[in-house]
Structure 1
Amino acid sequence: MIDTIKRKVTAGEGLTREEALWCLTEGDLLAAGKLADSIRRRKHPERLVSFVVDRNVNYTNVCESKCKFCAFYRNLTDDDAYLLPNSAIIKKIEELVEQGGTQLLMQGGLHPGLDIGYFERLFREIKSRFPNLQNHSLSPAEITHVAGLSGLTIPQAISRLKEAGLDSIPGGGAEILVDSVRAEISPKKIGWKGWAAVMSEAARQGLSTTATMMFGSKEKPEDIVEHLFRVRELQAAGGSFTAFIPWTYQPGNTELGGGTASGVEYLKVLALSRIVLDNVQNIQASWVTQGAKMAQVALFFGANDLGGTMLEENVVAAAGCCFRMSRDEMISLIRGAGFTPVRRTTLYKELERY
């Protein structure tokens, strides 16, 4: 089987689900890493590793979805439930721009009182004050929720948000794109076809997107493979995924609890992501969940990007995972692994080499 996989990778041919599953469950970790690294070098022949200076602004922690893997959400009546006033959001963005930030990632929860008018007013204010900032915000679940509250179709909601200043859509809330897994870990959230419908419509309307995968909770190896192939097929059907970001479930303070994937399992899934997703240009390592040292190793297992410096991040931190990284630390990390650091935009336009 490994010889067939090597031949296909060398020829630039796509794997089958069966071959991908073998690679994940029976294949050798280092062999998978070597193959993934060869694809990385083919797609990115210069020894460059990119990152973006950004901030996650979690505008609310109120969420009706109540996913079992999430330690961040609160009920509307909880004492520590919050909705940031616009003035606080604007101040956070000002701090981001002062530090040279180019990307704003706004995500919160499925708040029962926030219809599309709230986001239109907020996004217009953000765009008027910070016209050069990329508003890379709202997960497919949030957009679906807002559309439902507002009596809109998905195309209508995306069109109105885009008009108000939404520039691109992050791939949050994908978890595992298999409904049997979603029913166990996030039963109130949209199914995988709902996630896909938002991403496909965003691409049709000219918005760039990303795709993610959270693994290490309740999924089987077959589910990980299915997730990867569904992302690949969505991209082949006209998707606009600029990057894929696999990351591991963080069990701290969650209803789901339990364990998570090991470092070896993370690297194997990362490598398989690079091998399977031959039509997605960038694979991002998750230093937020894995830490700086594992992020360096990931650069030899298919990753070519380290995501954002994240001036602020609250969702993963709520589960007790609190890695932080300044721009200088990011640059040192990349150099320490033997690569040239590149600051980029959300859409992977090079801004500066270090």
Structure 2
Amino acid sequence: MPQSIPERLCEDAAARLWEEADVFTLGRMADALRFRLHPVPVVTYIVDRNINYTNICACGCRFCAFFRAPGQPGGYVLTREELADKMRETVELGGYQILLQGGMNPDLDLPFYTGMLAFLKENFPGVAIHGFSPPEIVFLAKKEKNSIAAIIAELKAAGLDSIPGGGAEILVDAIRCVVSPNKCPAAQWLEVMEIAHGMGLRTTATMMFGMGETIAQRIEHLEKIRSLQDKTGGFTAFIPWTYQPANTNLPAPELSSWEYLRFLALSRLYLDNVPNIQASWVTQGPKIGQLALFFGANDFGSTMIEENVVAAAGVSFRLPEKELRRLVQGAGFTPVRRNMDYSPREMDG
């Protein structure tokens, strides 16, 4: 099995590499490409907080342990006061960005979203808002009987800074119709991202794997991300993580850390035009997150001041910034704070 960095992988070559290369071979190849793209031994991270403004969702995805159906006990929509409390705490802890996401709540209209953004920007102008996954935007566009472009333009004007890659799961409709049949199809997820990139919004791309898909379907997902990136250049990073089956309605064996690391490495090799690959210590734990830095990842993600969705599936890792920096340094890298666009950010004080 060759261990040199390949030319641009096609889908068939990627599948052969997956079948024939062991975890260490894939890791060495991905590590070499990582250092070709980022020669300086730096690992970036961001200090932010996940804020789920509502858990009420009409989508009913089988893999989600967090949502509550409309009318079901336990549903909530955060008040402005609750939002402000979370934002103040975030700033006090050194945070400068929030990941703002919720469910497909049929009771929330466009003025709710634009009003929430305006409120946050008015009261916390120094905090960037990375918010609203493509399925949320598609759902809102349908509810408002408006175009995706019009909705994104309204959200951007109200204060949205960038869009996360949530809701991608596997960008293959044969899988989506089984695990999330009420969520937007793959083509619409990609459409949202293409429109956002055209409006100057940067976004991330994600993937949740281990729900029964084939390796060919995983690679098809990578190909769709790479093709759109060739066209727009708007993705700043790719973040793959493994499905966490506890407390969900989609039974599946939990993937091993070795499979996570192998696919992380394959992602780095395939996505030659996406500059950054993020380690998922949130699902894998800090030590595997540290190992991921030798399998193609150059970013350690977020300190996760608050995280609810993965925690609802029974996985709850936390990393204060000091510990995150210690892990990065222990792996032989220099930790560097960054913004969403991966520009470096000075430490406070």
TM (norm. structure 2) is: 0.98
1:136 aligned counterpart, secondary structure = strand
Q: Does 1:218 align with 2:218?
A: no
Q: Does 1:22 align with 2:8?
A: no
Q: Does 1:108 align with 2:102?
A: yes
2:152 to 158, 183, 189: 158
Question: 1: distance between equivalents of 2:75 and 2:253?
Answer: 27
Aligned to 1:98: 92
Deviation at 1:257, TM superposition (A): 2.0
Q: Does 1:255 align with 2:259?
A: no
2:178 to 172, 181, 184: 184
Aligned to 1:143: 137
Deviation at 1:26, TM superposition (A): 2.4
2:283 aligned counterpart, secondary structure = helix
1:205 to 188, 195, 199: 199
Question: 2: distance between equivalents of 1:56 and 1:25?
Answer: 36
Question: 2: distance between equivalents of 1:240 and 1:319?
Answer: 31
Q: Percent identity?
A: 50
Q: How many residues are matched?
A: 348
Q: Does 1:49 align with 2:43?
A: yes
1:88 aligned counterpart, secondary structure = helix
Aligned to 2:312: 318
Deviation at 1:260, TM superposition (A): 2.2
Q: Does 1:175 align with 2:169?
A: yes
Q: Deviations over 1:195-214 (max 9, x none)?
A: 00000000000000000000
Deviation at 1:239, TM superposition (A): 3.8
- State the AA in 1 paired with 2:277: I
Aligned residues of 1:199 and 1:239 also touching (Cα < 8 A): no
1:211 aligned counterpart, secondary structure = strand
Aligned residues of 2:210 and 2:252 also touching (Cα < 8 A): no
Runs (5+) with no aligned partner, structure 1: none
1:274 to 268, 285, 300: 268
Deviation at 1:132, TM superposition (A): 2.1
Deviation at 1:172, TM superposition (A): 0.3
- State the AA in 1 paired with 2:79: P
Detail structure 1 runs of 4+ shifted over 2 Å in the superposition.
Answer: none
Aligned to 1:195: 189
2:76 aligned counterpart, secondary structure = coil
Q: Deviations over 1:207-254 (max 9, x none)?
A: 000000000111100011111111000100114100000000000000
1:84 aligned counterpart, secondary structure = coil
1:280 aligned counterpart, secondary structure = coil
Aligned residues of 2:303 and 2:324 also touching (Cα < 8 A): yes
Aligned residues of 1:141 and 1:189 also touching (Cα < 8 A): yes
1:313 aligned counterpart, secondary structure = coil
User: Which residues of 2 match residues 259-338 of structure 1 at below 5 A?
Assistant: 259-338=253-332
Question: 1: distance between equivalents of 2:197 and 2:270?
Answer: 21
Deviation at 1:68, TM superposition (A): 0.3
Aligned to 1:233: 227
Question: 2: distance between equivalents of 1:46 and 1:186?
Answer: 41
- State the AA in 1 paired with 2:311: A
1:351 aligned counterpart, secondary structure = coil
Deviation at 1:353, TM superposition (A): 7.0
Deviation at 1:336, TM superposition (A): 1.1
Aligned residues of 1:140 and 1:199 also touching (Cα < 8 A): yes
Question: 2: distance between equivalents of 1:93 and 1:57?
Answer: 9
- State the AA in 1 paired with 2:208: M
Aligned residues of 1:25 and 1:221 also touching (Cα < 8 A): no
Aligned to 1:83: 77
Aligned to 1:126: 120
Runs (5+) with no aligned partner, structure 2: none
Q: Deviations over 1:23-70 (max 9, x none)?
A: 122222111110100011111111111110000001111101110000
Question: 1: distance between equivalents of 2:78 and 2:125?
Answer: 21
